[in-house]
Amino acid sequence: MADIQVGVVKNFFAKPSVAAIEVTEGDFQVGDVLWFTGHTTDFKQQVQSMQEEKQTITKAVKGQLVGIQVKERVRENDLVYKVVD
């Protein structure tokens, strides 16, 4: 089964290393593996935690803007896919 595009990076905050992701399709939750890809970005990472409006959440759905701590730099307009087995 193919990976599913779930969002796009809207912003990156370097000091806490957090990506702001707009969820454009489907959903994802803590424990899922996301693939960040773009012109110079290409890595996969399991979601450890996420926040919306400074509140911890466990699931993100279409229409939300969520923050996720990332291990590498991401860039605006990078695509975010949920990795599906």
Helix, coil or strand: residue 84 = coil
Q: Domains, the chain, ranges and CATH?
A: 4-82 (2.40.30.10)
Residue 46 neighbours by CB under 8 Å, 6+ apart: 31, 32, 33, 34
- Per cent of the chain over pLDDT 70 is 99
- Nearest partner of 28 among 12, 5, 55, judged by Cα: 5
pLDDT tens digits for range 51-83: 999 999 999 999 999 999 999 999 999 999 999
